[in-house]
Structure 1
Amino acid sequence: MQIARDPLDIEAHARRVLLASRPPLTDRAFGALVDLFLALGDRGRALRRQLLEQAMPWLDPDDAHFLRTHLDTELPRGAQLPTQRWSVLDTAVLGSLNMVGLQRREVAQETPFQQAMSLLEYGDLAGARGMLEAALLDEPDHEEVNRELLAIYQHSRDDAGKAEMADKLVARHGALPSGWS
């Protein structure tokens, strides 16, 4: 609590590290050292080294290595720290500082028929019909497109639209696909 009240009380930090370097409080040594490193910033290198050496037998090897790498440089606030729970001054950024990352992935291209079926599922009959008409004009032998477009004309009772599409098919391909006569 004293460190939380006065983070620059170096004597309190040193006492806390020394207390945490003895059983049964050894699980708190890393958090105490992290707080000391954060409070001192880039100053107090000799004190940081001495207290780190005293606590070394109780530290996890990865935690000890992490602190050794920051002896000569400042441990910046908001730095990505190893997981620990006994630090008072740590801003508790665990893991990655990047909350959202951009990922590229291949998206399978939908065929015009699949896109039209999606439009039908959402109730966009006119959009699906337009997409199927364009697909049939490009590929008049596509059976699924042909069958679905004819079903749309039949259910919507749009004989004028069907006749107009038949004229376009004859003009472009010279004949009508099966089922149009």
Structure 2
Amino acid sequence: MGQAIYGQLGDAAALTPTLNEAPCSELAFLIGESQRWLPYLPDLPARFGDALAQAVSAAPGDLARHTRRIHHAYRSLDSEALYGALLDLFAVLGHHGRELRRRMLSASRDRLAAEQEQALRLWLESGRRPPMSPRSRSACLSEGVEGETGLLHVREGEQVEIRDPLQEAREFIEYSQLEQAMDLLENAVRRQPERDDLRVELLSLYRATRDHARRDDFRRRLGTELGGLPPCWASDGTGERGSE
């Protein structure tokens, strides 16, 4: 085991023998606040990201650690780690640090999947995480960690807010996420076919997108699931009947 390193890293080259002699040391404890150690650990690229994630977990409010982790994931061409690092930054800042979040997202967008970039963009503009945003196993803070639903326990007498699907759909529509809005409304109609407001909103989306094939396919599937299509679904609200 190499000798302990205290304080900030100065000349990284001078520390190279210590680091090389201590391959079993935990990088999160060996690394200071400098990035100059990176070139001297060419055989441990997978551990760079782990160490930076651990550093963020240890001090979630240290924005310098967040930005170092984001920069490293970007340089490593690791889009999943990059998305997880951005999720953690957004979760920690909440409604604050909008300019920092905007800069980090803009600089990272070319290495994010389209749905990841879109979810973060919506979060930036709306101030809250979109309900159907992609999750990430690389996120290490609570807002981004994937988990089993069985881990959620509601104490007796504690009320859980259940958001109305129509309200959620309209939030998607507000940000031109029409595909997500239709998915949400179709699922809601299956669960609550008696709700006329859901039907009207969904049919208006079909008309707006001119997606008559999707409308007719949903009618057929809904009729099969319910054992018959409700009369209110015989028309799209303009007198036009769906194809049989």
TM-score, length-normalised on structure 2?
0.36
TM-score, length-normalised on structure 1?
0.48
Query: Relative contact order: is structure 1 or structure 2 higher (C-alpha 8 Å, sep ≥ 6)?
Result: 1
